Amino acid sequence: MLVAQQRLARDIWEETLDWMVEEQGMDELDHDERAEILDYLSTYLSEDTPR
C-alpha cells in the first residue's frame, strides 16, 4: 500500500490532504474528520514509526 510506505511527518500529511482536495477532487473534510485522520497518520504512519 503506497500510503503505508510514505512514512511522512504530520505537516507533510497535512499538505498531502490539501493537495488531494485541491488537485484530485477529494471532498473537503470537516475539522474533526481532518484531525482524526491526521492523528492516525502521524501516530501509525509517521517517519518515526517503526515498520
Taking the CA of residue 50 as centre, how many other CA atoms within 13 Å lie in the half-sphere pointing to its CB? 0
How many domains does the chain contain in total?
1
**pLDDT at residue 33, as a whole number:** 98
pLDDT at 2 over 70: no
Q: What average pLDDT score do residues 15-29 get? A: 96
- In order of 3, 23, 26, 45, the CA distances from 42 in angstroms are 12, 22, 20, 6
In a domain, 50, yes or no: no
**pLDDT at residue 1, as a whole number:** 46
In a domain, 51, yes or no: no
pLDDT at 4 over 90: no
In a domain, 21, yes or no: yes
In a domain, 49, yes or no: no
Residue 31, domain extent: 2-44
